[in-house]
A and B are shown apart, each in its own frame.
Chain A
Amino acid sequence: MSKYVMVIDQRRCIGCMACIVACKAENDVPEEHFRTRVIQEVEGQFPKLRMELRSELCNHCDNPPCVYNCPTGASYKDKETGMVLLKKNRCVGCKACIASCPYDARYIDPRHGYADKCTFCSHRVAKGKEPACVQTCIGRSRIFGDIEDPESEVSVLLREHHFEVLKPAAGTEPKVYYINRILKG
């Protein structure tokens, strides 16, 4: 059993958006829809400013509301990998998952009518490869791996750094972790 997670080291993200284009090319994501995005937030007043670059994607939650709210069983949590995935042939496009996701991670594929979202590139992972966004990440800001393996890079990073998840109060137990504490000095 594995539990795949993504660590996003925000200190190394340069906002180049290579991840977004690679994801779209890898997964045949329809025009004007995205499985991942890069948020740019600036705080403060000139000239005292602070900027955060934050990649967002499906959090592959351990407690996934999209799965609980799916009336057809199309959305499910894969027991082998911990990924939240979708059986397209069971999806009726009711959007219950979209409504229940606190992370705005899903869309309806207009070509087929079913819901879709980041799969952690499960088809690549099954062949021992990293997700497309990780492979192309210019800053090595995205790191992917099995948190059940204590020697994996993600495990080591999460042991050694302060990290956060998005919207912890939603109780979804996300599996995308953010490292953003400035450790300089």
Chain B
Amino acid sequence: MPISRRDFLKYTSIAAAGTAVSFSDAELFSHLFAITPESNEDVRYIPTYCEVCFWNCGAVAAVVDGKVKKLEGNPYDPRSRGKLCARGNAGIGELYDDDRLKHPMIRTGARGDGKYREASWDEALNYTAEKMIKIKNEYGPESVAFMMHGGITTHLMNLGKAFGSPNFGFPSYGQCRAARMVAYDLTYGADVGSPERVDMANSRVIVFFGTHLGENMHNSQVQDFTEALGNRAKIIVVDPRFSTAAGKADHWLPIRPGADMALMLAWINIIISEGLYDSEYVNKYTTGFDELKESVKEYTPEWASKETDLPADIIVETARELGRYAPSVCIHPGRFTAWHGNDTQRERCIAILGAILGTWGRKGGIYLASKAPLSGVAGMSYPVPSKVSIAKGPHHFAQPQLMQAVRRTTITADPYPIKGWVVAGTNILRAVPNPVKSIEAIMKLDLLVAIDIRPLDTAMMADVILPECTYLERHDSLKIDRGVSLSVGIRQPVVEPLYKSKAGWWICKELGNRLGVGEYFPYETYEGHIKKECSAMGIDYDELTRVGTKFYPGSDNPYITNENQPVFKTPSGKIELYSSQLAAQGFDPIPKYNRIEQPEKGWFRLLSGRSPVHSFSRTANNQKLFELFEENVLWLNARIASSMGIMDGQNIILVNSDNVRSEIIKAKVTQRIRNDCVYMVHGFGAKSRLLSRARGRGADDSRLMTRFVSDPISGSTGMRVNFVRIEKA
């Protein structure tokens, strides 16, 4: 029978106790599958880790005569625990999608018109390297920027740094996690990690601020959430939309969009003034409590009620619930945190709430990262770029990863020109708001290189397209997981690459050779590199390839005890409720509430989110997922729809404040959303002619985001500031 969560924990505790565990292939994974091979068929079960999204769950492939028959979750992996989500189950659809990029291509027509000719790898790589060297000679290596997301990151970062560029763009930073990372770093001296170290399985109260858990299928976290539901934890969901999580909640708080901080500050005020905070914890681990207490006095429940449209008594009741069950309270820090341009301060409020309730390092709150040391192969020393990175923009606390800043500089050439983009595994035209600006930037380039698996819209703008193989066909960097325990997972090919596609590591190494930086790729195969790393880490490589994930014995230290004290790498060495670092840069050291602009009558705030069966715009063409969710629809409040004469399923068009019109999209008339906003799932409206299923399906939300507000602290790109009106199509 399959391994249950209980068995999984038992396994990890066996591993943690250092007991030697020896498995054969058959014992390990055959129990997951019911494959009866024909007499002469070769059946193998090969572990790897998934890349249909970036949770990177441990998976096992059943391969029969060289063809992947089925994927299952690896029961020994902390992120899948033996279960794959719909996307993970559909990994075969990525591998065997006939629309995949099959061979290198060089553009023959005008940029963007989609005309290409097939090229050999040698020709395509030589072409790319020549153009990159030309840019380097004319403008300097800084003028080539590298954009990435996913498995290829390790290899492309290596290439970019070796080439001498400090300019990297990660949509996953500015458009997703930047605000949270900076806020937690300022407050606790550390981020909450990815996966976030939320101990929801043990929480008594869970709060989501617009966190669509379950719709954003973060596997192990969703498993923990459903454990919490089974344990009858109290669920509070603050969201203008009745999300799936809201459907599970004890309290759904349909807040006015953008007023979240009013609720949080009022909660902080109630918790402090009613003495519901953890005073011992606050005294021992925090600094700035008196300033906080003084600062939040003005934020009364009655005041917050007017700002949020929530009843004052509910605000008080929920605050008391937080206090009653503290510290086993998890206020989820969120992931897609780029909302209104004040996002770092909103995330600071979440961090502060958690701190006064004593949740960091406590059961049911945020657990501590495994402290176990992990040695490895010594890192490379790269040439020091002669020019400073432009990818921080003007944002002091940001990491130099802001895609928006790369795009802006590409257009303005200020402070220096950006002439080349190497884009790998990220569809910039969807991932970053306002694709018209992205195209404007692309048109200024001397070179656009796309490394991708699928002919997504951005790839079809490129001068040269280099087809990467899927995660089921390649080695990649080891997955180091500092969850409850420290673990290491391996991605290894389960079948040979199809067509002429190549592994990302190979593409980067071959480009590196042609760019004269081959010494930064000191291995013939990436497998060889992983073997070396394993040996440095003290891991039995052969065992790792058989088991997929290896736990480090005794590496878990999730909760604060007398012997296990937390370390806060802030200037004060404490949790900074009052942030000295923010004060020094002229920002509010304690978050203050600022009202944001609200839409006028006839206009709606555009919200977007996720479907559990899709990863951004990447999977829209995957047949197994496409048939479950072919296109996005526009959620519209039923009362508003009725007053406008719009029926459920009717074709409509959205028009934004800058007169940009959307593709045609169907209306979903629903009670599940406030009347001042509309909602759609992100990632649709593909234009690429080579995407036979996804092309022309649904509407592109990023196209309607012609306005966005960069958070001054982290550079997080607030995208929920766009208003739209509705026309019948």
Question: Which chain A residues have a beta carbon within 8 Å of chain B's beta carbons?
Answer: 9, 11-12, 14-18, 20-22, 24-26, 31-32, 42, 44-47, 49-51, 53, 121, 123-124, 126-130, 134-141, 183-184
Contact = CB atoms under 8 A, between A and B. Distances in A.
B230 A18 contact: no
A60 B175 CA distance: 47
A111 B416 CA distance: 60
Nearest to A133: B89
A130 B83 CA distance: 13
A147 B250 CA distance: 33
Contact of B223 (A15, A17, A42, A138): A138
A25 B73 CA distance: 14
B118 to A, nearest CB: 29
11 contacts: A11-B248, A12-B229, A15-B612, A16-B86, A21-B628, A46-B637, A121-B34, A123-B36, A129-B34, A136-B72, A138-B222
B83 A18 contact: yes
Contacts of A31: 623, 627
A139 B1 contact: no
B225 A45 contact: no
B143 to A, nearest CB: 44
B214 interface: yes
A24 B90 CA distance: 9
B82 interface: yes
Given A20-B86, A42-B242, A15 B214 contact: yes
B671 A14 contact: no
Interface in B210-232: 213-214, 217, 219, 222-223, 225-227, 229-230, 232
Contact of A20 (B214, B217, B225, B628): B628
Given A46-B673, A53-B244, 13 more contacts: A16-B85, A17-B613, A21-B625, A25-B70, A25-B92, A26-B70, A42-B247, A45-B671, A46-B671, A47-B252, A49-B246, A130-B1, A184-B232
Nearest to A124: B34
Contacts of B34: 26, 121, 123-124, 126-127, 129
Contacts of A42: 242, 247, 670-672
A11, A126, A139, A184 interface centre (most CB from chain B within 10 Å): A139
A141 B672 contact: no
Interface of B: 1-2, 4-5, 31-34, 36, 70-73, 82-90, 92, 213-214, 217, 219, 222-223, 225-227, 229-230, 232, 242, 244, 246-248, 250, 252, 254, 612-613, 623-625, 627-628, 637-639, 670-675
Given A16-B612, A21-B628, A26-B70, A184 B226 contact: no
A135 B85 CA distance: 11
Nearest to B638: A46
The 4 A-B pairs of least Cβ separation, nearest first, read A51-B247, A139-B226, A14-B214, A21-B89
A136 to B, nearest CB: 5
Contacts of A14: 213-214, 222, 225-226, 244, 248, 612
A44 B88 CA distance: 34
Contacts of B229: 11-12, 139
Contacts of B638: 46
A21 B613 CA distance: 9
A127 B232 CA distance: 35
Given A16-B214, A44-B671, A183 B232 contact: yes
A11 B225 CA distance: 11
A135 B226 contact: no
Question: Main SS of the interface on chain B?
Answer: mixed
Nearest to B228: A12
A140 B85 contact: no
B315 to A, nearest CB: 15
Given A11-B229, A15-B244, A49-B252, A136 B70 contact: no
Contacts of B254: 46-47
B247 A53 contact: yes
A135 B2 contact: yes
A6 B140 CA distance: 65
Contacts of B71: 25
A184 B612 CA distance: 27
A25 B232 contact: no
Contacts of B2: 129-130, 134-135
B230 A11 contact: yes
Nearest to A145: B1
Contacts of A16: 85-86, 214, 217, 222, 612-613
Contacts of B227: 140
A32 B2 CA distance: 29
Contacts of B673: 46
Contacts of A26: 34, 70
A50 B639 CA distance: 18
Contacts of B672: 42, 46, 49
Contacts of A136: 72-73, 83-85, 89
Given A25-B70, A46-B254, A129-B1, A17 B86 contact: yes
Contacts of A138: 83, 85, 217, 219, 222-223, 226
A149 to B, nearest CB: 13
Contacts of A11: 229-230, 248
A24 B623 CA distance: 12
B31, B232, B248, B254 interface centre (most CB from chain A within 10 Å): B248
A94 to B, nearest CB: 27
Contacts of B84: 18, 22, 136
A170 to B, nearest CB: 28
A123 B505 CA distance: 40
Contacts of B5: 140
B536 to A, nearest CB: 35
Given A15-B612, A25-B92, A139 B222 contact: yes
A14, A45, A126, A129 interface centre (most CB from chain B within 10 Å): A14
A155 B118 CA distance: 61
Nearest to B675: A46
A14 B226 CA distance: 8
Contacts of A128: 1
A136 B671 CA distance: 31
A32 B244 CA distance: 25
Nearest to B71: A25
Given A44-B671, A51-B242, A129 B31 contact: yes
A83 to B, nearest CB: 15
Contacts of B83: 18, 135-138
Nearest to A28: B69
Contacts of A17: 86, 612-613, 628
Contacts of B225: 14
B213 to A, nearest CB: 8
Given A24-B624, A49-B242, A135 B32 contact: yes
Contact of B250 (A15, A18, A140, A184): A184
A131 to B, nearest CB: 10
A175 B90 CA distance: 29
A130 B225 CA distance: 23
